[in-house]
Chains A and B, each alone.
Chain A
Amino acid sequence: MRRFRTAAAAALVTALTAAASGCGGGSATNSGGSNDKPGELTYWATNQGSSIEADKKVLAPELKKFEKRTGIKVKLEVVPWSNLLDRILAAASSGQGPDVLNIGNTWSSSLQKSKALLPFDDARLAEVGGADRFSKAALAATGAEGKPPAAVPLYSLTYALYWNKKMFRQAGIDGPPVTWDELVADGKKLTRDGHHGLAVEGGNPVENAHHAFVFGKQHGADFFDRSGRPTFDEPGNVKAVKQYVDFLAADGIAAKGNAEYAQNQSVKDFATGKAGMLLWQAARTSLLAHGMKPDEWGIAPVPFQSRQDATASGGKTEVDSMVAGINIGVFQHTDNLDGAMKFVSFMTSTKEQRILTDAYGSVSPVLEAQQAKPRDKDEAVLRSVLSSSAAPLPQVPDESKFETLVGTAVKRLFADAAAGRAVTEKTVREALTKAQQQMGK
Chain B
Amino acid sequence: MTRAVTADSAPRTPAPPAGDTARRPTRAAADRIPAPAPEHPPAGPGRPAPPRAKRPAAGSPLRDRVRSAGLPYLLLLPALALELLIHLVPMATGIVMAFKDLTQEYISDWSAAPWAGPDNFRVAVDFDAPVGEALLRSFAVTCGFTVLAVGLSWLLGVTAAILMQDAFRGRGLLRALFLTPYALPVYAAVITWSFLLQHDNGLLNHVLHDQLGLTDSKPFWLVGDNSFVALLLVAVWRTWPFAFLLLTAALQNVSADLYEASALDGAGMWRQIRHITLPALRPVNQVLVLVLFLWTFNDFNVPFVLFGKSAPQSADLVSLHIYQSSFVTWDFGAGAAMSVLLLLFLLLVTAGYLLLTNRGRGAADA
Contact = CB atoms under 8 A, between A and B. Distances in A.
Interface string B191-223: 000000011100000000000000000101011
A204 B103 CA distance: 25
A4 B70 contact: yes
Interface stretch (B18-26, B107-115, B174-182, B266-274): B107-115
Interface string B133-175: 0100000000000000000000000000000000000000000
B286 interface: no
Contacts of A204: 308
A334 interface: no
A397 B108 contact: no
Contacts, number: 137
Contacts of A15: 81, 84-85
Interface in A275-332: 332
B73 interface: yes
Contact of B81 (A11, A23, A27): A11
Interface stretch (A137-145, A351-359, A398-406): A398-406
A203 B222 contact: yes
Contact of A24 (B111, B308, B313): B111
B104 interface: yes
Contacts of B198: 257, 260
A93 B112 CA distance: 12
Contacts of B223: 203, 259-260, 411-412, 414-415, 418
Contact of B309 (A26, A92, A404, A416): A404
Interface in B78-115: 80-81, 84-85, 89, 93, 103-112
Given A15-B84, A418-B223, A438 B108 contact: no
A204 B222 CA distance: 12
A60 interface: no
A418 B264 CA distance: 61
Interface string B37-74: 00000000000000000000000000001100110011
- Between B111, B130, B222, B334, the greatest number of chain A beta carbons within 10 A of the residue's beta carbon is seen for B130
The B interface, classified by DSSP as helix, strand, loop or mixed, is helix
Interface in B292-315: 308-310, 312-313
Interface stretch (B238-246, B324-332, B351-359): B324-332
A23 B334 CA distance: 19
B348 interface: no
A264 interface: no
Interface in A1-47: 1, 3-4, 8, 11-12, 15-16, 18-20, 23-24, 26-28
Interface residues of A, number: 56
A1 B69 contact: yes
A336 B131 CA distance: 43
A116 B199 contact: no
B183 interface: no
Contacts of B312: 412, 415
B70 A407 contact: no
B328 A400 contact: yes
A95 interface: yes
Interface in A198-214: 203-205
A4 B330 CA distance: 46
Interface stretch (A106-114, A360-368, A373-381): A106-114
Nearest to B199: A257
A254 interface: no
A257 B65 CA distance: 74
Contacts of A4: 66, 70, 73-74
Given A12-B84, A404-B324, A408-B310, A110 B130 contact: no
Contact of B104 (A27, A111, A408, A414): A111
A419 B224 contact: yes
Contacts of B349: none
A53 interface: no
Contacts of A205: 309-310
A3 B67 CA distance: 11
Contacts of A89: 104, 107, 327, 330
Contact of A93 (B77, B84, B107, B218): B107
A441 interface: yes
Given A8-B77, A260-B199, A419-B220, A95 B85 contact: no
Interface string A40-73: 0000000000000000000000000000000000
A405 B324 CA distance: 9
Given A92-B107, A419-B224, A16 B329 contact: no
A255 interface: yes
Nearest to A3: B66
Interface in B224-238: 224-225
A437 interface: yes
B200 A257 contact: yes
B129 interface: yes
A14 B80 CA distance: 13
A260 B222 contact: yes
A401 B81 CA distance: 38
A16 B330 contact: no
B284 interface: no
Considering the complex of A and B, which 4 residue pairs feature the smallest CB-CB distances, nearest first? Answer: A415-B223, A437-B130, A408-B310, A257-B200
Interface of B: 65-66, 69-70, 73-74, 77, 80-81, 84-85, 89, 93, 103-112, 123, 129-131, 134, 198-200, 218, 220, 222-225, 308-310, 312-313, 324, 327-331, 334
